[in-house]
Amino acid sequence: MITVVTGASSGLGEALARRLAARGDTVVAIARSRERLEALARAQPGIVPIAADIADRAAVETAVARVEAEVGPIGALVNNAAVFAMQPLQDQQPAEIEAQIATNLLGTIWITRAVVPHLLRRRSGRIVMVASVAGIRGIPGQSVYCASKHGMLGFADALAQELLPHGVLVSSLCPGAIDTPLWSHAPGDGGVPYPGDLGQALPLGEACALVEFLLDRPPGTVCKRLIAFPTNEWH
């Protein structure tokens, strides 16, 4: 199967790309950093690197068309790319606010919109949204991130109902803190505590296994939303 993974140059996206390629998938790794993607492709056979910013609609449409023409039919999409800031709203710069909405919400919509017609034509496919517990509750210091992830889940829930009659399954993963570089920015400068011990985040391997579980659901089973977090958190 050809699986597109966004945000694949680091963190969960990189780990997932490696894991899926190792099991035999052809993984199209999309991220902004060409150098990191090319290094990933050299390290793990089965990975096709494509540098693109998912917040750029034209770039996303070009990337998806290239995959279909040069790599083959897309079977699954994992929307993993994310931008994160953990500060009180008044301390976040306009560029930080815009980046979170542009990537986490609009970027997810743009690439999904580009992929969906191909899945509909084949009447099969999987879409997994890597959302967050920040999409199901409000967390102080993450107001904009929460807004972007709430929007992502609303988009996913509506899209799942649109696509289900056509053989395309949409699922969402809502994890707590995952042991990735994303959380290196978590403390911020505003003194806003995270509701958990970041030293005990979900291991990457466990988070990857949850995405695999959603990708591998049989056609007759819908897993709308999977919520998972470390035992030192509660959401």
Q: Do residues 133 and 226 touch, judged by C-beta distance below 8 A?
A: no
Which spans in the chain are helix H?
11-22, 34-43, 57-66, 94-100, 108-122, 143-163, 204-215
Residues assigned a catalytic role: 145
Q: Are 48 and 64 in contact (CB under 8 A)?
A: no
For 50, phi then psi, to 5°, come to: -135, 115
CA distances from 52 to 2, 61, 133, 169, 174 (A): 18, 10, 27, 25, 25
The pair of structure tokens assigned to 208 is 């990857």
Q: Using CA atoms, how far apart are residues 96 and 117, in angstroms rounded to an integer?
A: 32
Burial class (CB in 10 A: 0-12, 13-18, 19+), 45: exposed
Q: Give the closest residue to 46 by CA, choosing from 21, 73, 66.
A: 21
Residues 6+ apart with CB under 8 A from 212: 19, 20
